[in-house]
Amino acid sequence: MDRCCICGKELEIMDSYQLFSTKRLYICDDCFDMKSKLISVNPMERLRAKEYMTILLEEGLVDERVQKEIWESIEKADRNLQENLYDWQQDQERETEKQKNLADYLEKRKGFTVTTGPSFDGYRVKRYIDVVSGEEIMGMGLFGDISANVTNVLGTSNATFGERLGRAKKEAQKRMIKEAIACGANAVLAMDFDMMVLTNHLVVSANGTAVEIEALE
């Protein structure tokens, strides 16, 4: 009966296994997977594979014909491993913080209110915080230069430009709200839009006063 040349497990007829390199030796799927992870770009996978292979080598389970090759693979996996692990952990922490901030923002966004007026019915302004704004730059291009601010030959408005302008306004408003949430507001009063042409671009700006409001009793 053949055995896995890494862990020594007996391989039954129904077991799944691989040939080890060009040698007439076999390797079970678990060990084959671990051996493959010795060259993984994920340092945590490399670390786990290194520890797995090291334990098998130290316990004398690895076939002596492949021991040198496995040790060499472990040494390669170990190069810059601690540095890679540190960078990976830092990336994971940044990603976790990013997801936490996003979840926090989305939760606050649910109850956020915007008005073009000076007040909200049923609420009072508890605190005026700051003037906030959000900008979106929209490329006009040759078509926009010619037809952005005029009607077409049939006398109807330019639908394509109108759609792009609408998206730009929504994006500018989103950025304004994000800035307001960052400074502790839960609403924006007196919001309006400003537009300015710069060469072949149109700058759309959403502006308002960030406030904290509370319901009237």
At residue 172, the pLDDT reads: 95
Sequence-ordered list of residues with C-beta below 8 angstroms from that of 69, at least 6 positions apart, any chain: 21
Residues 6+ apart with CB under 8 A from 173: 114, 134, 191, 206
3-state SS assignment for residue 127: strand
> pLDDT below 50 — which residues of the chain?
142-151, 153-155
Q: Output the pTM of the full model.
A: 0.56
Indicate the burial class of 116 (C-beta count within 10 angstroms; 0-12, 13-18, 19 or more). Answer: exposed
How much is the pLDDT for 141?
Answer: 59
* Residue type at position 201: H
- The Cα 105–Cα 89 span in angstroms is 24
* DSSP secondary structure letter of residue 41: S
Q: How far apart are CA 110 and CA 145, in angstroms?
A: 38
CATH of 111-215 among 2.40.10.220, 3.30.110.70, 3.20.20.70, 3.10.20.30: 3.30.110.70
The two three-digit tokens of residue 107, written as one number: 């939760």
pLDDT of residue 60: 92
Instruction: Locate CATH 3.30.110.70 in the chain.
Output: 111-215
Q: What count of other Cβ atoms lies within 10 Å of the Cβ of residue 147?
A: 16
